[in-house]
Amino acid sequence: MKLEEAQQKFIQGWGQLGASWGINRTMAQIQAVLLLSPKPLCTDEIMEKLQISRGNANMNIRELVAWGVAYKSFIKGDRKEYYYSEKDMWELAKKVSRERKKRELEPLIKILGELQTIEGSSEEVKEMNKVVKSAGQMAKRAESMLDLVMKLEEKVFFKWFKRK
């Protein structure tokens, strides 16, 4: 397989993965491009590689930087900003975990917390309280798992994990 073709496949696959995780497909593809590049890239190079507009590139690059999965880089004598990806997959996983926890788990836990005060004795109220309780329990457990992931080092985590 030729390099170009392989890169294209990787970029598509990574984009697809992002999309099914509720992450903008282009954002994930930019990340893939940065992952594959041995050196930082500027906006124009990314636009060229993915055939996208400046506005689109700019917005999604900034989002990647906000997530902490890409970084800015400056080259002396050049006014352009360059970008490179976090390449450590474990670090990447941790950053994504952190964002998703913030954006999804925490709002759910908050809502569930507010719902723990329903009064009444109808079947529906009982069912509500049961569901809220068990969902809250599950969410808290998921949260503490993510906390653990984010705290431990890769080696430690997987070594521990292998204890099965």
Partner DNA sequence: TTAAACTTTCAATTATTTCTGAAAATAAAA
Partner DNA sequence: TTTTATTTTCAGAAATAATTGAAAGTTTAA
C-beta of 65 vs 152, nearer to DNA: 65
Whether the Cβ atoms of residue 135 and residue 128 lie closer than 8 Å to each other: no
C-beta of 54 vs 141, nearer to DNA: 54
Residue numbers at the binding site for a copy of itself (CB under 8 A) = 1, 3, 6-7, 9-10, 13, 16-17, 19-22, 35-39, 87-90, 93, 100, 103-104, 107-108, 111-112, 114-115, 117-118, 120, 122-128, 130-132, 134-135, 137-138, 141, 145, 148, 158, 161, 163-164
Q: Give the number of residues written for the chain.
A: 164
C-beta of 24 vs 129, nearer to DNA: 24
C-beta of 79 vs 164, nearer to DNA: 79
Token pair 């998921």: residue: 142
Residues 6+ apart with CB under 8 A from 111: none
Pairing of strands 70-74, 81-85: antiparallel
State which H helix or E strand residue 84 sits in. strand 81-85
Residue numbers at the binding site for DNA (CB under 7 A) = 19, 24-26, 42-44, 51-56, 58-62, 78-81
Check residue 164 and report its DSSP letter: -
